[in-house]
Amino acid sequence: MAKPPTSHGSPWTRQDFAMIRKLVREGIPTRKIAKALGRTLAALYMRASNEGISLARPKRRASKSTRVGR
């Protein structure tokens, strides 16, 4: 049987949510964010949803050389 994550059963803190927001802005994959927090991927998705945190990566802007029509 797999052992539980390190933060299993621990309450979520404001620092956890701040870290989630920071790592999402940096473009870190959700699996790595969950591992950094010591939580499961499912727990990360559920708490982020409950707190109104979007786990979608920020979109990259196209460089000027790849824009069409200019």
Confidence tier at 4 by pLDDT (50, 70, 90): confident
Mean pLDDT in residue range 8-23 = 92
pLDDT of residue 69: 61
d(Cα 60, Cα 25) in Å, to the nearest integer? 11
Q: Could you tell me the residue range of the domain that residue 40 belongs to?
A: 14-54
Residue 21 has pLDDT above 70, yes or no: yes
Residue 6 has pLDDT above 90, yes or no: no
Domain count along the chain: 1
Specify if 41 maps to a domain.
yes
Are 38 and 7 in contact by the 8 Å Cβ rule? The answer is: yes
- Please state whether the predicted TM-score (pTM) of the whole model is above 0.85: no
Tokens 């803190």 appear where? 13
Residue 42 CB: number of other CB atoms within 10 A?
Answer: 9
Contacts of 67 (CB under 8 A, 6+ apart): none
Specify if 69 maps to a domain.
no
pLDDT, tens only, 26-70:
999 999 999 999 999 999 999 999 999 999 877 777 666 665 665
- Beta strand segments in the chain, E: none
